[in-house]
Structure 1
Amino acid sequence: MESPTPRSRRDVLRTLGAAATLPALSGVASAQSTAQDDYGPLGRVEVPGTTEVVVSGDVAYLATSDGFASVDVSDPENPSVLANPTDLLADRENGPMKQIFDVKVEGDRLLVAGPAQSTQNSVSALVLYDVSDPAAPEQVGVYETESINHNVFLSDGVAYRGDNYADGLQSENPVVMIDVEAGEELGRWSPVDENEAWGDVYTGLRVLHDMYVQDGVAYLAYWDAGTWLLDVSDPASPSVINHVRGRPPEELASLSGSQVTNENLQPPGNDHYVAVNDDASVLGVGMESWDTEADEDDDGPSGIELFDISDPTTAESLATITPPPTDQPTYSGVWTTSHNFDFAGDRLYTSWYSGGVKVFDVSDPSAPGILREWENREELSFWAAVAVEPGETFVASAENHRGEQGAFAGLVAFPDAPSGEQSTRTQTPVPTSTTDSTTGTANGTGDGGNTTGGTASGGTTTNGTGTVVSDTTVAATDSGTVETTTDSSGSGPGFGIAAGVAGSGLAAWRVLRGQDDDE
């Protein structure tokens, strides 16, 4: 996309008029909805294979499955690709690197990782680039790994990765800290180091799915083993600060084969993505889950739980942001479960696959309020949403991991709610856990905002398209015209969950642990 008269982001937003000053109480815009018709994307650029997006200044970096891309977003109406390297490490054994689902940026360094789900016929590595000129990235380091690299992080020059399944079904799934430029491992840690009982839990229930590092603290999303806060100020000597969510290892270890399969897909658990706000006083844990059967209420999909961690040794559950509803909540259905998100100031930018994107006011994290939301279930499924400049622009990466005809993959730019705007469209906050004062561990269940169908808790109703009738709660955003899919390939996010917990893998695990593979 090229503009005949390029304009800066500020110039573009000044010309948006009503779109830039939309009331916070507008409904959701979608392909099927007439509500909030003047709100929607500013611009987009197609980049096949897109998954993750991260931002540095006016440049967005995308993971593109076969490589990565840098995108200039200084003019959000006309984002443009600066570079799109592919076939990374093609000169190495088993090259090139495939299934590149994640990138991370820090200053002038970009970390690119793969493969995300299988090491077959692909070199496994972390590749570091100098992106001081984002139009001409230069490779400065390669660190080959013994296992997949589904997600990674980069902080203070240290790369963090989950060493999942490196030792097969016996793997402890540690977080590993690496100096990629020096080619040196600095340290590693696993929940098994804290409590050997975690070693008795099926490997797939305690994978390190994602991580976030800020100010010497690593926040580690360990699926059904919960989220761990780890002091990594000295990577060679990490130590546990707190353990939030999750179930006791003895309880998880007692599950039968079919129970493990269900547990891996549905709530509770499935800690998938984690991040903190600017001063690390609020922790967000996003869960990725589904119902196991279309005609059963297994409480999927899942949302984002917010915790007060102003004292990181304790964790108080504040509220749960519930996902957009779907009439096909199974793994093979229409995905509206939480995916990646981003805190910036008092804003939380969220993505929900086919459920679109939403921006929340979290100035009071116990009552998050919607500022902006948009979806188009027929054409767009979102992997991540990230602020470019709060109050002006955010971007979201649209993915098409199922290869659906007509679906868009690439970067989409959106206008943000103006700075200072607050929302009264809040979910009824229902804390989903209680804190054990002796351990600081939060464990519990709950249903978050209690939104069902077209009615949100507190008596607020919608017209079936997401249009708000009352401004006191979050309205449901199901258009009622969602198309279903029968894709059950098991590909895509979550390490290929459907395949990972089925068949010989789980059976072999139970033999190793001396357990019967039965109900």
Structure 2
Amino acid sequence: MTNSWLEKVVVCLCVGLLGACAPERDGVGGTIPAPAPPTPGVSLPEVGDYEAVPLAACKVRPKGSTTAECGSLESFDLSGCDSKSLLGLRTEGFFNMRMHRSDIVENELAATLRPGDFTVDRGASAAHPMFRRSTNTYSDGRVAVVAQVGCSARGTDVVTGCELTCINGVESRSFTFEGTRIRRRAGEGESGGELPLVGEAATGPGMATDVYVTKGHAYVVSLDDVFAGDGGLYVFDIKDRKAPRLVATVRHASENYWNSVWAKDDALYIASGDRGILVFDISQPANPRFVRDLSNGTRQNVHTVQVDGSRLYATLIDPTLETLIYDVKNPREPVLLGRYLDESVGSLKSMVHDTTSFEGRLYVNHWSAGMLILDPTDPANVKKVGAYKYPRASSHAARVGRINGNLTGFEGGEGWGAHLRVLDLADEKNPRLIGEYKLSPEVSIHNMELVGSRLYLAHYQHGVRVLDVSGPAKPVELAYYNTWRETDANRGTSPWDGAIGIRVPGDGYVYVVDTSRGLLIFPEVMYTDIPEDPNEL
């Protein structure tokens, strides 16, 4: 057998069935080298995602220190700025912005994200190369003026500045800001690491957000959006992955803010922004039939849904911030068993976003409260076992599994500087940070899927990222696909734009939802293991 090593040994680790090979995939996809043996994880320092400091050297002049009209260029102290550097800023395309309110030092959560665009006046007569203001009159007669001024540019793609809002000529609030132009990472093309696009299908109106795959169909939900239109449910026949076929569209006249989707047997669950959880009968997969909602006649904004065994977990963000637990032994007739409200949080800054369950524990991403670890054994009396909280957290999604036998968590936030954190969960009361994966601070992660030692990320404008986490202290990027294209419709309307939903259901494919493009299908990546010593065979 001394020559058999030339044939290469294919170790199939695909689609969650370790040791089982995926079905044929029409000749697409590829192989990547097997990972190096993992190294033990040591605790890393946790410093949070961003510093709670002003972002620019400009300032709003204090009240009483100037006679200038509120919102005029003279309202700002620009003595610390480098206005000439603004002339080198590239302004085409879109920017992601972070805004730090003037009280950011005292209130570290006084930060927000938003989309942005900028114009530079390079004329010699311009009073300032980057200054603009807008005026709006409210229905009650109040007049609002918003003024924005650039301070400095760092290179061609990053700008800092100040923004001031005045109501009836009096300062209402002010911010410093940093804007970064959205672009592909240096050296990247459309795809890398053998992750080709197999098939794609548009979803129509609405901002696509999530997908669930079952019964030979992909169920994609979308949100109402001022730019993209009404949301709804789109059902695709995926027998031919190269050409997914839209077979049904479902909308409700009263509301179509549908953010999340999951299924169990013949029941499909959709998280609704007004009616809690919507239950559909999918015994005929191409023809979903609405059965009921679980709102009990009250307005309920459910953000996400997730099923594990006979339990359905849902995150409620209005009117309260709770995790709901349902029995779904009869899938089309969920029964509410309990609800969990974390008493340590009480504002929308700590909205409950997502859940994942593993080995009897429920992990809840609770924004500034971090990732909660719950014991839901008794749904009427859920116990908080522990939490991983970090400074200025925006905990948004997680997956948990056994990596090399060790209980390991993967957590992602959605704020500026948010990135993937790898956690050792052996001591649930004191989770340890042992690894990180970072790209660029202006683009965060939305959702993720853990399949064996593969972690699949829906990484907004950075597209799809596939990581080898067999050495959890040092995640290794295996492949990527940049789904975000500047030319797509409705780009630049949100900092949370691009690859947003992802599923790896075990059929040899990865299903991704992009906010503008809709459904995209990719092959899973497989290991090719070539032993260093051919005699090992």
TM range (shorter): 0.5 to 0.7
Question: 1:18-97 residue pairs with structure 2 within 5 A?
Answer: 19-21=29-31, 33=189, 36=192, 39-48=195-204, 49=206, 50-56=208-214, 58-65=216-223, 66-87=231-252, 90=253, 95=254, 97=255
Contact 1:147/1:163 (<8 A) preserved: yes
Aligned to 1:154: 307
Give me the TM-score of the superposition, normalised by structure 1.
Answer: 0.58
State the partner residue of 2:25. Answer: 12
Give unmatched runs, 5+ long, in structure 2.
1-21, 36-183, 224-230, 489-497, 531-537
| Structure 2 counterpart SS, 1:12 | coil
Partner residue in 2 for 1:361: 468
CA contact (8 A) 2:222 2:259 kept: yes
Partner of 2:454: 347
- Cα deviations across residues 161-205 of structure 1 (Å, max 9, x unaligned)? 333241xxxx5x22122357556432112221xxxxx36x6x022
- Deviation, 1:417, is 1.3
Q: Which structure's residues are more often helix, by fraction?
A: 1
Please say if 1:228 is aligned against 2:372: yes
Structure 1 residue 345 displacement after superposition: 1.3
For 1:393, the equivalent position in structure 2 comes to: 509
User: Cα distance, 1:100 vs. partner?
Assistant: 0.7
**CA distances 1:339-397 after superposition (whole Å, capped 9, x unpaired):** 1010111111101111111111112211211111111432571102222437x421210
User: Deviation of residue 47 (structure 1)?
Assistant: 0.8
Report the equivalent of 1:431. none
Residues 13-412 of structure 1 mapped to structure 2, 5 A cutoff? 13=26, 15-16=27-28, 19-21=29-31, 33=189, 36=192, 39-48=195-204, 49=206, 50-56=208-214, 58-65=216-223, 66-87=231-252, 90=253, 95=254, 97-115=255-273, 123-144=274-295, 145-166=298-319, 171=320, 173-179=321-327, 181-182=332-333, 184-192=335-343, 198=344, 203-246=347-390, 268-277=392-401, 281-290=407-416, 300=417, 302-323=418-439, 325=440, 329=442, 336-379=443-486, 381-389=498-506, 392-400=508-516, 408=517, 410-412=518-520
Cα distance in 1 between the residues matched to 2:316 and 2:245? 35
Preserved CA contact (<8 Å) 1:30 1:377: no
SS at match of 2:470: coil
Displacement of 1:110 in angstroms is 1.4
Taking the TM superposition and a 5 Å limit, the aligned residue runs for 1:481-496 are none
Q: Counterpart of 1:315 in structure 2: which amino acid?
A: P
Q: CA deviation at 1:285?
A: 1.1
Letter of the structure 1 residue corresponding to residue 322 of structure 2: P
Q: Is the 8 A contact 1:382 1:399 kept in 2?
A: yes
The whole-number CA distance in structure 1 between the counterparts of 2:351 and 2:213 is: 27
Contact 2:32-2:193 at 8 Å conserved across structures: no
2:449·2:503 contact (CA, 8 Å) conserved in 1?
A: yes
The residue type paired with residue 55 of structure 1 is: V
Q: 1:421 to 1:222 in 2, by over 3 A?
A: farther
1:88-108 superposed Cα distances (whole Å, 9 cap, x missing partner): xx4xxxx2x321111112333
Amino acid in the other structure paired with 1:59 = H
Cα offsets for 1:443-464 (capped at 9, x unmatched): xxxxxxxxxxxxxxxxxxxxxx
Instruction: After TM superposition, give the deviation of residue 158 of structure 1 in Å.
Output: 3.5
Bigger Cα displacement from structure 2, 206-215 vs 28-37:
28-37
* Contact 1:31 1:377 (C-alpha < 8 Å) held by counterparts: no
SS in 1 for 2:379: coil
For residues 183-231 of structure 1, the C-alpha deviation after alignment (integer angstroms, 9 at most, x for no partner) is: 6432112221xxxxx36x6x02221121223443221111001111111
* 1:54–1:318 CA distance, 2 compared to 1 (3 A): farther
Deviation at 1:419, TM superposition (A): 4.1
CA distance in 2, matches of 1:37, 1:189: 42
**Residue type matched to 2:378 in 1?**
D
Task: Tell me the CA shift for residue 313 of structure 1.
Answer: 4.2
Equivalent residues of 1:22, 1:39 under 8 A apart: no
Residues 363 and 32 of structure 1: is their aligned pair in 2 closer, same or farther, counting only changes over 3 Å? Answer: closer
| Equivalent residue, structure 2, for 1:497 | none
Contact 2:192–2:480 (8 Å) recurs in 1 = no
Deviations 1:269-293 (A, max 9, x none): 0001122236892211110012xxx
- Once residues 234 and 159 of structure 1 are traced to their aligned partners in structure 2, the CA distance between those partners, rounded to angstroms, is 14
**What percent of counterpart residues are identical?**
23
CA distance in 2, matches of 1:357, 1:98: 27
Amino acid of the structure 1 residue aligned with 2:324? V
Query: Residues of 2 paired with 1:204 and 1:51: CA distance?
Result: 21
Distance 1:30 1:24 in 2: 26
1:189–1:32 CA distance, 2 compared to 1 (3 A): closer
Pick which of 204-213 and 220-229 moved more.
Answer: 204-213
Give, in whole Å, the separation in 2 of the partners of 1:160 and 1:146. 18
Distance in 1 between the 2:287 and 2:351 partners?
35
State the aligned residue count. Answer: 335
Aligned residue in 2 for 1:413 = 521
Partner secondary structure for residue 369 of structure 2: coil
Which secondary structure does the structure 2 equivalent of 1:236 belong to? helix
Give the deviation of 1:150 after TM superposition.
1.9
Please state how far the C-alpha of 1:33 moved relative to its aligned partner. Answer: 2.8
Which structure exhibits the higher relative contact order, with contacts defined as CA atoms closer than 8 Å and separated by 6 or more residues? 2
Q: Tell me how far 1:63 sits from its aligned partner.
A: 1.0
Q: Secondary structure at the match of 1:275?
A: strand
Ranges in structure 1 where 5+ consecutive residues have no aligned partner: 1-8, 116-122, 193-197, 248-267, 291-299, 330-335, 401-407, 423-519
The amino acid across from 1:387 in the alignment is V
Larger Rg belongs to: 2
* Closer, same or farther: CA 31–74 of 1 in aligned 2, 3 Å: farther
Contact 2:191/2:481 (<8 A) preserved: no
Q: Distance in 2 between matches of 1:37 and 1:219?
A: 31
Structure 1 position 35, deviation (Å): 7.5
Q: Any conservation in 2 of the 1:342–1:385 contact (CA below 8 Å)?
A: yes
